[in-house]
Amino acid sequence: MSTLPNKLPTRRRALKWIGAGAAVAAVPRGLFAQEPTFPKGAIIRAILKDYAPEELAGGATLFHEHLQLSPDFSARFAAASAAVRAANGLPPLPARGGPGRARGPAEPPPDIMHNVDLMSEEVEKTKSAGVACIVDAGHADMGRDINFIRQVSMKSGMPIVAGGGFYTQPFYPKEISTMSEEQIVKALIKQADDDTLGVYGEIGSWDEITADERKVFRAVGKAHLATNLSIFTHTGIPGKSAIEQLDILEDAGVKPNRIVIGHLGNLVDPNVYVHKTICRRGAFIGFDRQGGFNDAQQVPMVMALIEAGFADHLMFSADASSGYAKTVTVFLPKLKAAGASDEVLHGIMVNNPRRFLAFVPKRPRKK
């Protein structure tokens, strides 16, 4: 449940808090952080066109969402999570709805992830909350069809940045285990060209990093050097592999400011030790499962990082499959109530994602 004393924000409040849409014109720019600067020739590569970073300054960018996953993705994810809990001697998670609760037959919700019209309507709703761009974090091993994402962007009018790569061990194509690192690099570069990628992500590990996952991480680092695409990650449960992920990517030659270490809202630590360590090294940290009833435990961690001077290293998103505006409409109000300023929230939601995504291309756009 929300910890806010008042009801959820109106569209006007949400826009004001991130300095987006109509509020950009209404609120003097001096109230917000200084606009970031970008290298000459830098672009943000969306699936339909390249944007100058300044073109996306009118609203929030959600850096980690999912517009399409395979129908069996949730079951596979749950099975992998259950296996990790069992391996660590933890009991199974309780069934949804609580023990003993009777469940009647229910009409399944519409499958918006496989209906262009329904997904386009869902994405279009985010505009009124002040969202200017969405990053889709899926790829083929999760069941994403890049043409679906392209059609949704065309129909909704929302700039969508396509992520790419290989997800985690439980989801890898079988051939990953026999491919060399260099073969994976070539596959990643081909993905970037053929699918018009704007970022590598989400690239992950599951609990302890496996040998194959280390191989993929090293290959992603090398593919970054060949393309200049930034990288965002999926960490283990909860955030076990965060530091090692950053180590592997840095060792491959990736600069920390081109990396987001993801899911660190799951690593609940009042002292935010790992979070601060990653920020001090120059990388971003992702609070990317925000907008739900468990947000209360992340608010003090975010506020501690802001107070420590690390607002420029924070990234927020929902990692959602519906309700894509809820980072803005649910999570930001909780931070506002805790004392986060308009200037800081604007910097996190509008400036940080553009700084992360903007790159000078090393390869021409094919489409």
User: pLDDT by residue (tens digit) across 202-211?
Assistant: 999 998 999 9
| Closest CA relative to residue 60, chosen from 131, 10, 124 | 131
Q: Is the pLDDT of residue 306 over 50?
A: yes
Give the closest residue to 335 by CA, choosing from 294, 289, 300, 285.
Answer: 300
The predicted structure's pLDDT at residue 271: 97
170: containing domain: 53-71+111-357
Task: For residue range 119-164, list pLDDT tens digits in order.
Answer: 999 999 999 999 999 999 999 999 999 999 999 999 999 999 999 9
The better pLDDT of the pair 344, 95 is held by 344
Q: What is the pLDDT of residue 95?
A: 66
Model confidence pLDDT, tens digit, residues 247-273: 999 999 999 999 999 999 999 999 999
On whether residue 79 sits in a domain, the answer given is no
On whether residue 250 sits in a domain, the answer given is yes
Listed as own residue / partner, the contacts of 296-301 with beta carbons closer than 8 Å and 24 or more positions apart are 296/3, 296/334, 297/268, 298/265, 298/268, 298/331, 299/3, 299/334, 299/335, 299/338, 300/270, 300/338, 301/265, 301/268, 301/269, 301/270, 301/272, 301/275
CATH code (residue 347): 3.20.20.140
Q: Compute the mean pLDDT over every residue in the chain, rounded to the nearest whole number.
A: 89
Q: Is residue 82 part of a domain?
A: no
Cα–Cα dist 185/200, whole Å = 12
Q: Tell me what the mean pLDDT of segment 287-307 comes to.
A: 93
Residue 171 lies in a domain: yes
Mean pLDDT for 20-49 is 67
Q: What does the DSSP 8-state code read for residue 327?
A: I
Average pLDDT of the segment spanning 53-81: 95
Q: Rounded to 5 degrees, what are φ and ψ at 316?
A: -120, 140
DSSP state of 121: H
User: Is 188's pLDDT higher than 50?
Assistant: yes
Of the ranges 38-52, 316-330, 334-348, which one carries the lowest mean pLDDT score?
Answer: 316-330
Looking at the predicted structure, is the pLDDT value of residue 24 above 70?
no
Chain length of the chain: 367
161 sits in which H/E element = strand 160-162
pLDDT surpasses 80 at 240: yes
Q: What percent of the chain has pLDDT over 70?
A: 87
At residue 263, the pLDDT reads 96
Q: Give the phi and the psi of residue 342 in degrees, each rounded to 5.
A: -55, -40
Mean predicted confidence (pLDDT) in 85-98: 74
Instruction: In whole angstroms, give the CA distance from residue 180 to residue 203.
Output: 18
- Per-residue confidence (pLDDT) for residue 16, from 0 to 100: 55
Q: Is 44 helix (H, G, I), strand (E, B) or coil?
A: strand
Query: What pLDDT does residue 30 have?
Result: 37
Number of domains in the chain: 1
Least confident range of 16-30, 163-177, 180-194, 330-344: 16-30
What value does the mean pLDDT take over residues 28-53? 82
The band of 47, judged by pLDDT with boundaries at 50, 70 and 90, is: very high
Domain-located, residue 257: yes
Domain membership of residue 105 (yes or no) is no
Element (H, E) at 131: strand 131-136
H-type alpha helices, the chain: 11-18, 22-26, 73-87, 116-125, 146-156, 181-194, 211-227, 242-251, 273-280, 299-307, 326, 332-338, 342-346, 352-357
This prediction has a pTM of: 0.90
Residue pair 230/200 in contact (Cβ under 8 Å)? The answer is: yes
Which of the four pLDDT bands, split at 50, 70 and 90, describes residue 70?
Answer: very high
